[in-house]
Amino acid sequence: MKSRLIRKMLWLACPVFFVLAGCSTPEPPAPYGAVPSPFQIEWQKMEYYMFIHFGPNTFTDVEWGDGKEDPKVFYPTQLDCRQWAATAKAAGMKAIIITAKHHDGFCLWPSNYSTHTVRESLWKDGKGDVLRELSDACREYGLKFGVYLSPWDQNHPSYGTPEYNQIFSNTLDEVLSGYGEIFEQWFDGANGEGPNGKRQVYDWNMFHKTVYRHQPHAIIFSDVGPGCRWMGNEAGVAGETNWSTMNIEGFAPGREAPPTRILNSGEEGGKAWLPAETDVSIRPGWFYSASTDDRVKSLAKLIDIYYTSVGRNSNLLLNVPPDRRGLIHPNDSARLMEFRRMLDETFAVDLAKNAKFTADHTRGSSSKYGTKNLSDGNFDTYWATDDNQLTASIVIDFGKEQTFNRLSLQEYIPLGQRVKAFSVEYWDGSAWQPVVRQTTIGYKRILCFPMISTQKLKVHIEEALACPVLNGIAVYKAPEI
């Protein structure tokens, strides 16, 4: 009798228990708007990788060849793709993308669909394959491998005819099926007249299907993606406001691209998740020229580019062109190592790692969505507010005075991009003083400001499209150049 009474009491208590449990652990926020694919998330985490422009232009000292160059001009005497990969690895880069075929139509592999290739060059008596050597080197050094193939071909006699789209698709077939995993397929919309005086009408749908047939996880770059987008300039400057969403319906790469201001800043509420990639060269041009050996970008300029690309919710694709030997020039590699050392020194110590974080709003008052998630280094844990709470303040108490000049913020992008405006303040001992006011955050936002000494810092989310969801806040003291 007594045991039956206990069981009855437990049974009656169960609904109350589950109601209380539900209150203490609310549901996670629902995704808002367009969201990234798992492959776009992993791509965004890469942040920084190398572009390689290499081909006949390297040897003719021009930026855009015309397809009439003799393939025999391509003759690197010491080509060493392992040196490229070792340099990229030492520089802290995560991958290499190479111009497998530029606008001149020259193929860095012995294509069966062209007579303008390494097969017709003097290099290795026509038996070489740059893509093979570089893809092997990337795997050896733990780097991802990507390819640029221009659909414009100033050499191919079929360019400008309906047949050419299939020929270009065939070249994609060769590259995307023959060199292992390709993390990014880089397209631009360059389009000139063919031998018949007509411009090619590109079949982008066919090209994309070819890419995904062989490389279903590849990120496709162009003015309108669909994996990531060009951000509108080659100066290394993404928009201060930079949404990872954009409307792409009715647009295409090249002349039919969205306006530059849209490419640079994305669009709030855009229907497609299309994060920005910032491409810029370490030299004035994209291909190597001996005349620019003393014009490699300064360390200060590269640091500025880092903050206007990675620091503004964009990946950085930094071009480092090999010279006529087929090696990365010492001036370029030395600057890359200086750049790596500066970044390492800047981000070595997170001053907020052991600070006390408090927020005036936390989702369901639950520790699952608490401020501890902002400094635990785990991408998949986050602080959030209730669904109807679109503003909030987070205070970072260092426990003692700290001196710093950088603040890094990250949104948990698997749930979408939400923050539209935020501000930062510091405590001067008697009142809060303004540091900066900005707009979007996205995957990562790094703020640069004059050195501050304070015990407390406040981040205020002033406007959000849905409840804010942040998975990282870090504070650093960067060396002053």
Where are the chain's structural domains?
A: 38-346, 356-476
- Is 292 in contact with 331 (CB distance < 8 Å)? no
**Encoded tokens for 142:** 């733990």
Cα(176)–Cα(142) distance, rounded to whole angstroms?
19
Nearest to 207 by CA among 147, 165, 153: 165
Other C-beta atoms lying within 10 Å of the C-beta of residue 365: 12
Residue 456, Cα to own-chain centre: how many angstroms?
A: 32
SS3 27: coil
Query: Exposed/middle/buried for 369, CB within 10 Å: 0-12, 13-18, 19+?
Result: buried
Superfamily name with CATH number, domain 38-346: Glycosidases (3.20.20.80)
**From the first residue on, what is the mean pLDDT of each consecutive set of 10 residues in the chain (481 residues)?**
43 40 76 98 98 98 96 98 98 98 97 98 98 98 98 95 96 98 96 79 97 98 98 97 98 95 98 98 98 98 98 98 98 98 98 98 97 98 98 98 98 98 98 98 98 98 98 96 79
Q: Rounded to 5 degrees, what are φ and ψ at 342?
A: -65, -45
Nearest to 85 by CA among 97, 75, 100: 97
pLDDT at 24: 61
As a dihedral over the C-alpha atoms of residue 220, residue 192, residue 66, residue 320, rounded to 10 degrees, the angle is -30
pLDDT at 193: 76
CA max distance for the chain: 100
Q: What pTM was estimated for this model as a whole?
A: 0.94
pLDDT at 192: 84
- Is 228 in contact with 275 (CB distance < 8 Å)? yes
What angle do the packed helices 130-140 and 81-90 form, to 10 degrees? 40
Nearest to 161 by CA among 202, 206, 101, 112: 202
pLDDT at 11: 42
Cα(264)–Cα(51) distance, rounded to whole angstroms?
20
Other C-beta atoms lying within 10 Å of the C-beta of residue 218: 21
Cα(450)–Cα(304) distance, rounded to whole angstroms?
15
b/e string for 14-25 if b means 16 or more Cβ within 10 A? eeeeeeeeeeee
DSSP string, 265-320: H--TT-SEE--EEEEEESSSSSS--GGGTT-PPPHHHHHHHHHHHTTBTEEEEEE-
Cα(453)–Cα(373) distance, rounded to whole angstroms?
25
pLDDT at 402: 98
Cα(303)–Cα(469) distance, rounded to whole angstroms?
28
Which residues have C-beta within 8 Å of that of residue 215, sequence separation ≥ 6? 176, 181, 182, 185
Task: Indicate the DSSP class of residue 219.
Answer: E
Query: Exposed/middle/buried for 385, CB within 10 Å: 0-12, 13-18, 19+?
Result: buried
pLDDT at 35: 98
- Domain at 356-476, CATH from 3.40.50.20, 3.40.630.40, 3.40.47.10, 2.60.120.260: 2.60.120.260
**Encoded tokens for 105:** 């139509």
Q: Rounded to 5 degrees, what are φ and ψ at 40?
A: -70, -35
**Encoded tokens for 139:** 């795997």
pLDDT at 18: 38
Task: For the chain, state the CA radius of gyration.
Answer: 26
Q: Please name the helix (run of DSSP H) or strand (run of DSSP E) that holds residue 6, with its range, or none.
A: helix 2-24
Distances 295 to 57, 277, 298, 336, 461 between C-alpha atoms, Å: 18, 24, 8, 14, 42
